[in-house]
Homo-oligomer: A and B are copies of this chain.
């Protein structure tokens, strides 16, 4: 128990409830949080954000009484998981599998997950190439769909993925039977990159029948989990896992989905994250397409029939990306603008138009500040507005 001495608030820790570890190591602190709190536990995010991951964890581990009633309930919940807590062993197991743990502060942490706000994972248990997680945000596509897929759906999924993976887009999916499996397999077969997001721990490839497929994804692509080794993929974890499938890539395409398919939860997450969603239509006589038609009818998804139409789905996003100032591309920039107008102008897409919200996001302004700055640009003739969409005006 020599390691125990390294834990600073040692005196307060009930003996034997957990295995001591280095609280100074942010990797282990994050690993501990991912063991104590279920994915999407808002109280855990709140306390970590307020106190910092380590002080918050120390509070839990210390066994000290907590008086604030709601926090007390959460701390009680986390403390039930303290017996046997051993993040160093968890991380060692991951390492033995060739994996690596990313915590929120890691330079390799995928920025796309910031969009999840207070449901961001504490860490990612990664097997394979962690760079694919950030790469997914650069035009990557979630290709998801029914486990009970039809030959039609698998055929269309294969066509889409072959074309999209071949042009370097990361294909993200959930490793399940049906459309997910086709997405991973065809991405690998096309020499492309693919990420499988697990609902259980990184050592728990699920379903068992996909053990070999997921081994191959881990070897040539990336398998990622937000819960630590040994955690089974519960129904709840499938649903929370879906938000990661939606958040990591730029857009989401649903190939087949029943009327009440779990796949629709991924589409819903993508919509709330402002990711474009596409759905592939099929025969109205096929139950496996009912969820896709539902998404299209309800205006939540765009009807996509081929890879070209999936690319069109990305266009507004990719046009926005072009708006980031590029050195040496300053032709047509109006001269002598005040700082705020300059930033708003920079945030306007080089081609096409942007909404007040997209410009605000790109400029890092509030919507009110953006409206004011764009209004001045419009008055000065540097920008124009039509039906709530703003664009740069051509310079002579």
Contact = CB atoms under 8 A, between A and B. Distances in A.
A285 interface: yes
Contacts of A155: 285
A296 B285 contact: no
Contacts of A289: 281
Nearest to A286: B283
A303 interface: yes
A356 to B, nearest CB: 17
A284 interface: yes
Interface in A266-325: 280-285, 289-290, 293, 296-297, 302-306, 309
Contacts of A293: 281, 303, 305
A18 interface: no
A278 B303 CA distance: 14
A78 interface: no
Contact of A306 (B281, B283, B284, B304): B284
Number of copies: 2
A305 B282 contact: no
A47 to B, nearest CB: 39
Interface in A40-89: none
A36 interface: no
A152 interface: yes
A165 interface: no
B282 A309 contact: no
A283 B282 contact: yes
A374 interface: no
Contacts of A280: 284
Contacts of A290: 305
A286 to B, nearest CB: 9
A297 B306 CA distance: 12
Given A297-B309, A305-B293, A152 B281 contact: no
Interface of A: 152, 155-156, 280-285, 289-290, 293, 296-297, 302-306, 309
27 contacts: A152-B283, A152-B285, A156-B284, A156-B285, A280-B284, A281-B281, A281-B282, A281-B283, A281-B284, A281-B289, A281-B293, A281-B303, A282-B283, A283-B283, A284-B305, A284-B306, A290-B305, A293-B303, A293-B305, A296-B296, A296-B303, A297-B302, A297-B303, A297-B304, A297-B305, A297-B309, A303-B303
Closest 3 CB pairs of A and B: A281-B281, A284-B305, A296-B303
